[in-house]
Structure 1
Amino acid sequence: MNRSSALLLAFVFLSGCQSLAPVSPDATSPVEDSTSAPEKPKVYSSFSEDTVFSLLSAELAGQRNRFDIALDNYVTQAINTQDPGISERAFRIAEYLGADQAALDTSLIWAKNAPDDLEAQRAAAIQLARAGRYDDSMVYMEKVLQGKGDTHFDFLALSAADTDQDTRNGLMKSFDRLLQKHPHNSQLIFGKALLMQQDGDAKEALALLEQNPPEDGEVAPLLLRARLLQSLNRGKEALPLLEKSIRKYPDDKRLRLTYARMLVEQDRMEDAKTQFSSLVQQYPEDDELRYSLALVCLEAKAWEEAKGYLEDLIARESHEDSAHLNLGRIAEELNDPQGALIEYGQVGPGNDYLPAQLRQADILMNNGRTDEAQKRLVSARDAQPDYAIQLYLIEVETLSANNQGERAWKVIQQALQQYPDDMNLLYTRAMQAEKRNDLAQMEKDLRLIIQREPDNAMALNALGYTLSDRTTRYAEAKTLIEQAHQLTPEDPAVLDSLGWVNFRLGNLDEAERLLRQALERFPDQEVAAHLGEVLWNNGKQREAKQIWSKFLKDQPDSPVLRGTIKRLTGSETL
């Protein structure tokens, strides 16, 4: 195409751009319509030949998927011409491509040259917020507010979530400044409430929203109010609020979905099932809702209903792996191990693959088909080499759980021959060695892990606990466990170990304090056994028996609990 032809086409293209700025009224003549009043003349800015050619080149580049050229040309011409139409087009391209700096630059040019265009001012405000320039952003958003346009103060607040406290404090001052001018503006109030929530001021945020009810049609403040109530452990108050809102806005998806999820959190599965069912009827093409409904049915133990929804998902080719995994779980619940194996066998690589492999192995081993289970896992490793290490771990753990310790040892040795530097395999061998009473091998593997990963809290804790439980090296054990505790101070397993080593050292009160914390965070039979033993030795036998009795109700055959009780009382029964 020669340059003259290109320019002619460019002028045709440009004449269709409504956003090009008009100049003098006599530059063009309107076309009169005999049946309507004459239009005001549309007159477009005159551009240089180079500008027109650059813009045409940009459009042609875009048609050929050379968006880099299109963006570069448009940004250049937006800067050169300062034309609002060109800068808007440049901004749209930059936004589409995720070119953040170009989007910011062109939005500012657009806003500068179209001061009365609320969309331009809003675009500049949002881009400035994305760049972390919140004070500048508020200046542009205030222009939108003054023009009575739709502001996005909520976006400004949300975009500041990951910033430092000083930045959020500055943004809060900007909100307060604008609220002095516009004290009843619901968008400003909502944005400030979001900032308060981010700062952990849930009570203050809730009070602000309750003092300033949203305008009709504003649902987001209602949702935030419900979430704040939930975060303050007042979820039962959130439900009536959402119920009232749903009656007012029955077709609002967000309201009903939030309500349904809160019902799940409060363990009201039948009510949640009703709400998710209603959502699926309203939005029959939304498979996320259908999958959620299936999971709620599973929680409610409505096996046949869950099965129907999961089979629907498979027919719709949506969530297929998760559907097969959950159909396998249903089959297990219905005592159909063969059906479960069929479902688990259809789960492909992805998030659900390893859980399906684990369940297959466990079912087969529980039914005396250990050889078949191992053959399947070997085949799986051959077919999916990316999962080989995890599949080795599954094989070892399921063999060990099914009292096949020698086979488990052979498999972990084989795995480490193939992957000698894998920390998870080394840790697993250490745990298997401990079960074989091979404490030397266990310590060797754990110290190798700690040498390579000094901050591996799991290895530090495992070695420290074993030394405190199986040897008399208590001081050394305490040092290791304290290192783990510094790394993971809230980990109940570490708290349990720290409590146990203090018991071994005779620090009964400190041991009791730590073990109570551990049991509160993780109600486990072994922690209960430890706490009971400490209480027993600290003159609190009645409380020790109460704790043991409570956990025996859930696990009457627990060897840890029964062994502890027999050792201390002379009988396995209380």
Structure 2
Amino acid sequence: MTKKLISLALIALTAAPMTAGSAFAIPRLAQEAPPPHRPTDKAEAAPAAPAPETRGLAGPYLAARQAAIGNDYATAANYFLQAMAQDDTDPFLQDSALVALISAGEMERAGALAVTMSDQGRATELARLMQRSELARAERWQDLVNAIDNSPAPQGDDPEQGAPGGNMLLDKMVRAWALLGAGNARQALSAFEELGKVRGARPMVNYHLALAKAKVGDFEGAEQLLADPNTGAHILGVIARAQILSQLERNQDAVAMLEGTPGFEEEPQLVSMRDRLEKGETLPFDSVRTPADGIAQVYLTFASVLATNEEPDPLALIHARLAGYLSPNLGEARLLTAQLLQGFGQYDLAENEFEALRELGEMRPMAELARIDALTRADRLPDAEKAALSLTAAYPDLAQGWIALGDLLRQQDKFSPAVPAYDKALALIGPDAGEARWFPLYARGIALERSGQFPKAEADFREALKLRPDSAQVLNYLGYSLVDRSEKLDEALELIQRAVDLRPDDGYILDSLAWAYYRLGRYDEAVAPMERAVSAMSGDPLVNDHMGDIYWMVGRHREAEIQWHRALSLEPTPETETDRIRAKLDRGLDAVLADEKAKSGK
């Protein structure tokens, strides 16, 4: 796959453009898997109980705090509002409710609360930010300018230093767009140019200055700014620049720019623009239809910056929500909001945003892959499978789409149908792609092994190991497969030991090591790693069953029976495993093994 350099959001407060997924990397589905014959852990948290009825202030407040800790924004908002019904003068409760409402996307309720806070003289920074968004939506530009001019300096900014911090920078950029809306174009452009002097802010500010220039008809000035990769090397910048070049009657330059953009073929909107340009169509400049769109992109810029941290700042979601509220057709805001919600574990809310993207006609491959992952994490596997099928139908040459489909089929134990999906992905990736082939080879190997095609699976695992010799999961899976089949046991033990060296605390791998010793008849050596595996995975029925077998073989029969009872209590699958454990409890492992040997004729 071509390395994508198009950011899913905007550039940060540095000179370097963001790369694809820098706001949030799209997780690949089920990269790791337990060894064969052990079902994927599908245990999910128990469904949340209905919200309890509460009385007074303490109950709703504590319930709200608990919901907020779990990022359950809608529930938190409702409980905070219940608490406010008991005390509507507490600024902490009000601000907490406002955070939850915006995070949940309940913008109208958030706007009403912000007005209430202002009327009571208790407006916080967030309440003021919400009110300014409402003024922009209403196109009350001069009122917005006045609101910013009359507000106290944002916390964390030191006006005496002459260099605004992040909050003041945001205010001043919003103010510049509001000036443009109020008809003061010269002042607006001057304001952006002055902000460009702030250390580290020039690329971001110049992007907005370019949009403002284009909005007032200065396409040449806008093109000069966006031609700088530090300013325009992100998807919104590429779109704006293509429109500007077309307005300058430079369609061929726009086509060359688009086709030279990394990841171009994976962005339907860019491909569509190229096709229209090649037909001689003059593209309208509609990246910013109104100053509200410009302000939305300011919020999106700051959301992107806040989302680049290893642990995204919760304020990133606030700014992304505000961007989508001001400009509902801004697909990048919807996408970033969805990715952030996904990162915070709010998969159903994320799905709402992905669905909004689809309604906008933006079935973008990277967005769809993220949507599929969100559906999967929300345990909506049939819906995720349908989405993956739609993606592969719309983009049959997208290898990642076929990998996602294969992963979904595999997670639903549809191992045979998963194999052709991985076949297609590997064919698209090509035989000389190196590291890019590793995961689909490993995943196809799992699907082949679980569908009874071990020779082919073994070939895939060995090819994957050539690409990544220190892959603990492949070493373990292949080693365990060989152990389970009683084939090449010495090599299997070596493979698993290498995996243990790489991941000494992994319960699955420790179980594999112990079981390899068991198969080799080295029962005493099997005890220690299996005890460590049980300690790490006490809720796994197979690990407890294995522990029982090993205890039996070293003469610890009572402890073996305890482990088998525990394995039964954990509801092992399939039914044959349950019957075998009961047989061991009734007659002992020796008798069970003797019966199995007699039946097999070995």
Calculate the TM-score normalised by the size of structure 2.
0.38
Higher gyration radius (CA): 1
